[in-house]
């Protein structure tokens, strides 16, 4: 009985992680669109353009890593649990990379915006 409860708990965690990745993907995509709008209207002659390019690349990486993480979490099944083919391990690594790239993307965008306002 404990293994059934453990499996249900793990499935619920995979759903929550999947949803969290959807939110991170939405935030990264929205920030990228915000950046495009700001470049057109606010930053007429931007300084530190490389920082803006880095920020854009980091948000793109966030979206890609989050998609890979969602795939890993969605592919979880009891058959692959605690085996070498467990996609959750892949999902967790992709999730960690998505979080790191998102944090650095926000940081570089904030630095760029502060420098140019």
Angle at 62 between CA 34 and CA 38, to 5 degrees: 15
3-state secondary structure of 65: helix
What is the structure's pLDDT at 43?
76
Cβ-proximal residues to 15 (8 Å cutoff; 6+ apart), any chain: 73
What is the structure's pLDDT at 22?
95
What is the structure's pLDDT at 10?
81
What pTM, to 2 d.p., does this model score?
A: 0.84
Residues 14-18: contacts with CB under 8 Å, at least 24 apart = 14/73, 14/74, 14/76, 14/88, 15/73, 17/69, 17/73, 17/91, 17/95, 18/70, 18/73, 18/74
What is the structure's pLDDT at 99?
96
pLDDT < 50: residue spans in the chain: 1
Q: Sketch the domain layout of the chain as residue ranges.
A: 2-116
Crossing angle between the packed helical segments 87-116 and 49-74, to the nearest 10 degrees = 160
Length of the chain: 117
């Amino acid at each position: 009985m404990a293994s059934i409860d453990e499996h249900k708990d793990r499935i619920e965690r995979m759903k929550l992680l999947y949803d969290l990745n959807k939110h991170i993907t939405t935030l990264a995509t929205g920030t990228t669109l915000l950046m495009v709008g700001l470049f057109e209207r606010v930053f007429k002659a931007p300084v530190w353009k490389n920082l803006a390019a880095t920020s854009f690349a980091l948000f793109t990486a966030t979206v890609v890593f989050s998609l890979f993480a969602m795939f890993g979490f969605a592919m979880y099944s009891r058959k692959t649990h605690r085996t070498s083919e467990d996609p959750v391990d892949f999902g967790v690594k992709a999730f960690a990379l998505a979080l790191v790239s998102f944090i650095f993307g926000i940081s570089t965008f904030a630095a760029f915006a502060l420098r140019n306002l």
